[in-house]
Amino acid sequence: SEVKKIAVIAGDGIGPEVVAEAEKVLKKTEELFGYKFEKEHGLFGGIAIDEKGTPLPQDTLEMCKNSDAVLLGAVGGPKWDNNSKELRPETGLLGIRKELGLFSNIRPAFVFDCLKEASTIKPEVLDGTDLVVVRELTGGIYFGEKFRRESEFGEEAVDTCAYNVMEVERIVKQAFEIARTRSKKLASVDKANVLESSRLWRETVNRIAPDYPDVELEHVLVDNCAMQLLRRPSSFDVIVTENMFGDILSDEAAMLTGSIGMLSSASLGEGSFGLYEPVHGSAPDIAGQGKANPIATILSVALMFKLSFGYQEAGDLIEKAVKDVLDAGHRTGDISTDPSKALSTAEMGDLIIAAMEK
């Protein structure tokens, strides 16, 4: 059968630890389904700064461009936190998203019944929560002009937030399409009461909405949305929003699922190519200790199978294996109510690949 090329860039901190478990899942899928994955590994993030003097080396970028999908761990850490912009791991992350044209970041937040007690939110509030944040990924304040200047009151720093109609249209259309495949509800989140970029966002959403009469649309201001996500999480289906709002709201949504260690993501452009990474970061506080939850990264592989490769059955199998392992009571520290029984990263990965066989 056809070979899929996967670029693997593990990055920093817990990145390599969680990616190692996701690679076990790739291998198990080859065994079970007869698929063939050709993996290539590349330097990225802080480790690439240390070894090559740049967070996104040209050969790593080329490797990603020549692949069918990218599996990414996480980047960043205290070692590079005081570096200049060009020598920051996070700059490499923004660069790879931009260079690969990945304007759409899909972050599903689904509450496993057995994990309700792991969340800080009351179980009855979580009932039926199954939402997806569609985050614009290559525009807005992340990519706007940035500079410093002198002011009357000392040095001043400026970040600009810009969106054009094309950028809003393409992400909003994708979100409407995703809503169509789900519960047909779309919440567009903005700050149109204050920001000009949000007013253009809302006008654009309203112009596109008549093309999707089957989808129920609501506009929610971002501050209200942050509150409603905790008050009535199960009433949300698809949330579409600009880059920074999506970054913040998806970490908030993670806590509905019990832990940021549970949240997977897919970054897509117009075609089937995609980059798959957990929503969490490099977790310097637990890095190197085998404590990280690998489920976010493993579920990102399931997204890769479904969204880039059309391997629906293999993606479903991974999700079911994760559910079975959690249902059986297995927990890493972040989702455990009894830390003394917490599993290591590798133990959790091994249980999930074992559950894939059953």
Out of 247, 277, 319, 334, the only residue in the binding site for Mn ion (CB under 5 A) is 247
Distance CA 109, CA 220 (A): 18
Dihedral angle computed from the Cα positions of residues 319, 329, 333 and 336, in that order, rounded to the nearest 10 degrees: 110
70 touching ligand IPM, by CB under 6 A: no
**In this structure, what token pair is assigned to residue 247?**
């970054």
* Residue 85 annotated as binding site: yes
277 touching Mn ion, by CB under 5 A: no
Distance CA 157, CA 147 (A): 6
Half-sphere exposure for 284 (CA within 13 Å, toward CB):
8
Count interface residues toward ligand NAD (CB under 6 A): 22
- Residue 325 binding result from Mn ion, ligand NAD, ligand IPM, none, given CB thresholds of 5 to 8 Å by partner type: none
Distance CA 94, CA 111 (A): 29
**Cβ closest to Mn ion, residue 29 vs residue 282:** 282
In the 8-state DSSP scheme, what is residue 332? B
* Residue 288 annotated as binding site: yes
Per-residue binding letters, 3-22, with ligand NAD (x by CB under 6 A): -----------x---x----
User: SS3 of 133, please?
Assistant: strand
286 touching ligand NAD, by CB under 6 A: yes
Half-sphere exposure for 73 (CA within 13 Å, toward CB):
32
**Cβ closest to ligand NAD, residue 134 vs residue 179:** 134
Helices 312-327 and 345-357: angle between axes, nearest 10 degrees: 120
Neighbours of 123 (CB within 10 A): 12
Out of 16, 42, 55, 77, the only residue in the binding site for ligand NAD (CB under 6 A) is 77
* Residue 233 annotated as binding site: no
**Residues near ligand NAD (CB under 6 A):** 14, 18, 74-77, 90, 93, 260-261, 277, 280-286, 292-293, 296, 334
Q: Which residues are annotated as a binding site?
A: 77-90, 97, 107, 135, 223, 247, 251, 281-293
Q: Which residues are annotated as a binding site for substrate?
A: 97, 107, 135, 223
